[in-house]
Structure 1
Amino acid sequence: MVAGFRRSLSFSTPSPRRSPPPEKSYHVRSISLPCKSHPLISQLKDKINELRKWESESEAAATTTGFSSSACLCNGLSHLKNVQDCLDDLLHLPQTQESLRRRSDWVENLLEDFLRFVDVYGIFRAALLSLKEQHLAAQVSIRRRDESNIASYVKSSKRKDKEMRKLASIVRRIGKCSSPALVSVSSDSDSELAAVLRDVNQVTVSVSVTLFNGISSSSGSWMTGWRAQKIKKEKGIWEFEEAKLQSLRWLRKKGDEEEVRMSLISRLQALDDCIGGIESGSEKVFRSLMNTRVSLLNILTQ
């Protein structure tokens, strides 16, 4: 008798539970939000806002009195130096240099603008040195009671007035001729950089024009003082105006002549300090402009 085979169902031994396979990663393209500004850009914006606040305050004061003080102008120059120094720091950032190398036209236009700024401030510094010498000569003439040199002093004041107005005109053209390429940008970071560069140019122009016009009006008002003419000059420097009024008293011999003469000498000495402060402030701005231009040139040539 043959034994029969019984069919049976076999079950495989259950394998240990495996963890689910890791999800396959995919590169997903997304629209990224603009990254946070670099702290140096934020700092530069703050410096620009401080300078604009100074502009509005000095404009309000000048509108009320008709004159600015030398201390106010020196304060504006200090703010402008801070803006230029902060810009120079920004230009040393690798990401800034990378952005500007992609837009060499920006750098070339900025180089041209800053070359004009440097030239203008160089001329201004030389003019201030000449102005100091003229005031010293005027003091000597007054001490000696010698009016023979006053005519040449008046003539030099006229030249100075014309020179300052010419510098202001040159600076205004820098503002008008700023490159439109600074507005045409392709990314948020480039747009922010372009905007801050444009703002730096604008405040540099406006502060410089205020400075040159202030000296121009003061030079002209001083000239009219010696000539005893009443010509309205707006937004000059009040220290110049005080010296002018005192000179009118001396020329017209109003009051005690010796007392007026000594008072005028004192005013002129104070005016020397005023010119010295502006000279120091403009010297610092000049050096900052030079540093900024060198940094731009390095970006273009590296």
Structure 2
Amino acid sequence: MVGVFRRSLSFPNKNPKRPSTAEPPISHHIRSISLPCRSHPLISQLKDGISELQSWASNPDARTSAWLCDGLSRLKNVHDYLDDILQLPQTQETLRQRCQPLWVENLLEDFLRFVDVYGIFQTLVLGWKDEQSAAQVAMRKRDEKRVVLYVKARKQMAKEMGKLVSAVRCVGVPGPEPIVPVGDAELVAVIGDAIEVTVLVSIELFNGIAASFAPRKSSWMGLRLSKKAKKVKAEEGIQEFQQVGVESLWGLRKQADEEVRMGLKKMQDLEGCIGGIENGSERVFRSLINARVSLLNTLTL
């Protein structure tokens, strides 16, 4: 990135022929030619977006689907800013000529992992929506056998979310800092921060769903929780997801009509929450793809 140094030089307007009793000499300021700013406005916007996401994650009392959707929306904005930065000629010159190839290759690998993780998440959510719809039909028909399948699907969803958490924790593992000129250090640092907050938001998302769908009691199906399941259970889930507990799905044939209607209402609300998260994660997924394509284009020009 091209650096900018603005400096002012003062030259006293001193005339040796003027008498000593004259008024004090007047200083005229002559400015040097201005060059583009070292810190591009887009980098400032990216820093602000990263800071907002860090504040978002520090709020432990707002584990709702709306809170998650807000985080995903902010994350999309961060990667949109990053995509714009990657298309700047200054950035392209820095990445091609002044950064070590190994660091750039690791950056490409990080983006590829993000894209893979969010692509898998999209597929899982699509399948989960089908399970939700089937479970609602089963509740209306009081089909307890189909409810058993839904409960198993919840457990499987929690397990798959745990796998995504493990996968995303491997992204952006700290390594040797790239050696770059002082003027490019800000760019390298802000890219690293963008990777870090992406990991942060992703873990909140996947862990929240895993904790919501993991078995809470070992008695309802006579199962003992593994150490890993207990760890997931101990983490805070998403409020709307936890309102649809599997305990309320047992004994449908004995439940009153009003109880079934209340259960169906919660399931419908949950379906809406899942849809909002699906839309937010899809936008993040597309932004990640765009940023990675820009990075590839930069390196192949």
TM range, smaller chain: 0.7 to 0.9
Between the aligned partners of 1:146 and 1:167, the Cα distance in structure 2 is 32
CA separation of 1:220/1:137 partners in 2, compared to 1, >3 Å: closer, same or farther? same
Maintained 8 Å contact 2:144/2:251: no
Secondary structure at the aligned position of 2:214 is classed as: helix
CA separation of 1:250/1:149 partners in 2, compared to 1, >3 Å: closer, same or farther? closer
CA separation of 1:250/1:41 partners in 2, compared to 1, >3 Å: closer, same or farther? closer
| Aligned partner letter, 2:121 | F
Report what 2:84 is aligned to.
89
Matches within 5 A, 1:1-302: 36-57=38-59, 60-61=60-61, 68-102=63-97, 103=99, 104-176=101-173, 178-180=174-176, 183-221=177-215, 227=221, 232-244=233-245, 247-249=246-248, 251=250, 257-302=256-301
Between the aligned partners of 1:36 and 1:223, the Cα distance in structure 2 is 57
Between the aligned partners of 2:53 and 2:258, the Cα distance in structure 1 is 42
Length-normalised TM-score, structure 2: 0.79
**CA positional deviation for 1:187:** 1.7
Between the aligned partners of 2:92 and 2:74, the Cα distance in structure 1 is 25
**CA positional deviation for 1:227:** 4.2
Secondary structure at the aligned position of 1:37 is classed as: coil
Secondary structure at the aligned position of 2:282 is classed as: helix
Secondary structure at the aligned position of 1:198 is classed as: helix
Q: How many residues align?
A: 257
| Aligned partner letter, 2:46 | L
Maintained 8 Å contact 2:171/2:199: yes
Between the aligned partners of 1:223 and 1:89, the Cα distance in structure 2 is 48
Length-normalised TM-score, structure 1: 0.79
Maintained 8 Å contact 1:157/1:222: no
| Aligned partner letter, 1:129 | L
Please list the CA deviations of residues 167-198 of structure 1 after superposition, one character each: whole Å capped at 9, or x if unmatched: 1001001132x442xx2323222211111011
Taking only the aligned residue pairs, the percentage that are identical comes to 53
Per mean C-alpha deviation after superposition, the further-off stretch among 146-155 and 42-51 is 146-155
CA separation of 1:275/1:139 partners in 2, compared to 1, >3 Å: closer, same or farther? same
Per mean C-alpha deviation after superposition, the further-off stretch among 97-106 and 281-290 is 97-106
Between the aligned partners of 2:106 and 2:133, the Cα distance in structure 1 is 41
Between the aligned partners of 1:274 and 1:173, the Cα distance in structure 2 is 28
Between the aligned partners of 1:69 and 1:166, the Cα distance in structure 2 is 22
The structure that has the greater radius of gyration is 1
Secondary structure at the aligned position of 2:235 is classed as: coil
**CA positional deviation for 1:239:** 0.8
Give structure 1 stretches of 5+ with no counterpart: 1-33, 63-67
**CA positional deviation for 1:135:** 0.8
Report what 1:28 is aligned to.
none
Report what 1:19 is aligned to.
none
Maintained 8 Å contact 1:161/1:219: yes
| Aligned partner letter, 2:96 | R
Secondary structure at the aligned position of 1:186 is classed as: coil
| Aligned partner letter, 1:111 | L
Computed over aligned residues only, the root mean square deviation of the Cα atoms, in angstroms, reads: 2.5
- Structure having the higher helix fraction is 1
Give structure 2 stretches of 5+ with no counterpart: 1-35
| Aligned partner letter, 2:92 | Q
CA separation of 1:114/1:131 partners in 2, compared to 1, >3 Å: closer, same or farther? same
Secondary structure at the aligned position of 1:149 is classed as: helix
Secondary structure at the aligned position of 2:145 is classed as: coil
**CA positional deviation for 1:154:** 2.0
Maintained 8 Å contact 1:225/1:248: no
CA separation of 1:88/1:190 partners in 2, compared to 1, >3 Å: closer, same or farther? same
